[in-house]
Amino acid sequence: MWTFGRKIAIGFALSIALLVIIGGVAYRSLSVLVDSGHTVTHSHAVIESLARVLSLMKDAETGQRGFVITGSDPYLEPHRSALESLPAELKTLRQLISDNPAQLKREGQVEEISAAKITELKRTLEIRRTEGFEASAKAIGVGEGKRSMDELRRVLDEMEHEEHELLKQRAEEAEAAAASGKWTILAGTVLCLVIAVLAGFMLTRSLTAQIGTAVGLVRSSSTELQAAANQQATSSKEQATAMNEITTTISELMATSRQIAESAKRVAQIAAQTAGSAKSGQGTVDTAQESFSAIRRQVDLIVSHMLELGKKSQQIGSVLDIVSELAEQTNILAINATIEAAGAGEAGRRFSVVAEEIRKLADRVGGSTKEIRALIDDVRGAVNTTVMTTESGSKAVDAGSKQFGDVAAALKQIAALVSTTTEAAREIELSTKQQSTAVEQVNVAIGNVAQTTKETEASSGQIMQTASQLTTLSGDLMRLVRPQAFRA
């Protein structure tokens, strides 16, 4: 959607562009015409110079004829004057045609012919002075001078003809340029007029439509604004009522907040006392845990001693095996000694008594070793039972220690939680105080809002009045933009 400024700018831009184009074309045509005027003037200057050259040559010949006929010097005056002026005139002619090589070439021929003619004139004049009229008439009669003049006229005619051709050609170019400029200006003006009319029509139409639509929207918006202002006024009244209710509720909330703050303070105090008790309990548990550790060390020592006792009992068993083996061997020896003593008859009787006693001792040692083995087995059994019992006790101590550790950890956790609870209760107390302060501020703010609501209510009336005026103004504007809509 183009804006108004853009549309107007585009219309003006098109018109200005056409004006620039037309001006450029006109300037170009005028330049061509001016150039053509200059070239025409130049061609006329060349033609005049050619005429002067021919005239000077005629004057030179006329003076020569007068002197030949009369023999009087005053008749030579045109001749002399022409010969003096001719070089300057030829120079002027050469400068004028310096841009045309063909004309320069012909000018060279003119100079040659002129020189030959002047030589011929001077020769006949000398003849007239020295030999008289007849001789000079005879020399002229040869016709050399006439041929030179004829040739000079022919070359000058060619040059003049050339200049006339150039004049004709430049005149055609000037005419064509003038016609082109004329048509361009005419057509451009017409086109510019058409574009200006079209742009004006389209701008008028577009602007009318858009402004009409906008005015319509303003009109409907002002109507809606009027309705909204009505609604706002009603809402403001309701809001004022609600604000009163909110103020009452906030007052109750403030009272509740104060009660919560007091409760939180009491909770914080109780939590602090609980934290002290938890710390005391933790100290007791730590002491008990140290006692458990000491018991554990003692139990480990007992187990170690019991295991050592078991090892010693095993060593006693090994020694007892040796003793038992020795008793058995002693018994065998005693029996063999008895046999040998019996073989020795009366002489071996005393020896048999010794052998018998040794055998008895061996028997008793064997019996005692069996009893000792039984006792050692009992001791080892008791040691094993003690070790197992002690290990069970050690495990129980471990379990108790672990449970005490758990209790200690739980107490630590309780202490930490109670500490956290204390902090939380303090934070709650602080937050509740802050909340009370905030509620008081809210109460003040609500009062301000209520005041603002009243002001809003008053403003709503003004807005309604302004919306009504805006509706009237939009109707007037619409009447200006689309009068046909109101006529219908």
Partner 1 sequence: MSAPGTANAGLAAALRKEFDQAFAVAATTRKVQNTHLLAIRVDANPYAIQVAEIGGLQVDRVIAPLPTTIGGLLGLAGIRGELVPVYSLAVLLGYHAPLRVPRWLALCGGAHAFGLAFDDFERHLNVAGAQIATADSVNTKAQHIGAVAHTEGGSRPVISIPSIAAEIARRCTTVGVSKET
Q: Which long-range contacts (CB under 8 A, 24 or more apart) does 260-266 make?
A: 260/428, 260/432, 261/429, 261/432, 261/433, 261/436, 264/425, 264/426, 264/428, 264/429, 264/432, 265/425, 265/429
User: Is residue 378 within the footprint of partner 1 (CB under 8 A)?
Assistant: no
Min separation Cβ 367 and partner 1, Å: 10
The tokens describing 223, both together, are 């109507």
> Helices in 132-143 by DSSP H: which ranges?
133-141
Min separation Cβ 369 and partner 1, Å: 14
**Contact range with partner 1 by CB under 8 A, out of 26-34, 66-74, 75-83, 323-331:** 323-331
What's the CA gap between 431 and 55, in Å, rounded? 129
Residue 252 or 340 having the CB closest to partner 1:
340
Residues 6+ apart with CB under 8 A from 7: 202, 203, 206, 207
How many other CB atoms are there within 10 angstroms of residue 8's CB atom?
14
**Contact range with partner 1 by CB under 8 A, out of 59-67, 133-141, 360-368, 392-400:** 360-368
User: Is residue 406 within the footprint of partner 1 (CB under 8 A)?
Assistant: no
Site string for partner 1, 282-321 (x = CB under 8 A): ----------------------------------------
Contact between 133 and 75 under an 8 Å Cβ cutoff? The reply is no
Binding residue (CB under 8 A) for partner 1 from 158, 328, 398, 457 = 328
Min separation Cβ 337 and partner 1, Å: 10
* Size of the residue set binding partner 1 (CB under 8 A): 21
User: Is residue 386 within the footprint of partner 1 (CB under 8 A)?
Assistant: no
User: Is residue 350 within the footprint of partner 1 (CB under 8 A)?
Assistant: yes
The tokens describing 143, both together, are 């016709």
Binding residue (CB under 8 A) for partner 1 from 16, 142, 197, 353 = 353
User: Is residue 361 within the footprint of partner 1 (CB under 8 A)?
Assistant: yes
Rg of the chain, C-alpha, whole Å: 76
User: Is residue 338 within the footprint of partner 1 (CB under 8 A)?
Assistant: yes
What's the CA gap between 308 and 305, in Å, rounded? 5
Residue 80 or 360 having the CB closest to partner 1:
360
What's the CA gap between 124 and 146, in Å, rounded? 13
How many other CB atoms are there within 10 angstroms of residue 387's CB atom?
19
**Contact range with partner 1 by CB under 8 A, out of 149-157, 179-187, 253-261, 338-346:** 338-346
Binding residue (CB under 8 A) for partner 1 from 16, 142, 339, 445 = 339
Min separation Cβ 316 and partner 1, Å: 16
Q: Which residue has the tokens 């609600």?
A: 242
Binding residue (CB under 8 A) for partner 1 from 332, 374, 396, 445 = 332
Min separation Cβ 368 and partner 1, Å: 9
Residue 413 one-letter amino acid:
Q
The tokens describing 211, both together, are 């402004």
What's the CA gap between 418 and 431, in Å, rounded? 19
What's the CA gap between 183 and 451, in Å, rounded? 79
Q: How many CA atoms lie within 13 A of 79 on its CB side?
A: 21
User: Is residue 370 within the footprint of partner 1 (CB under 8 A)?
Assistant: no
Residue 178 or 309 having the CB closest to partner 1:
309
What's the CA gap between 345 and 142, in Å, rounded? 225
User: Is residue 342 within the footprint of partner 1 (CB under 8 A)?
Assistant: yes
Which positions lie near partner 1, rule CB under 8 A? 328-329, 331-332, 334-336, 338-340, 342-343, 349-350, 353, 356-357, 359, 361, 363-364
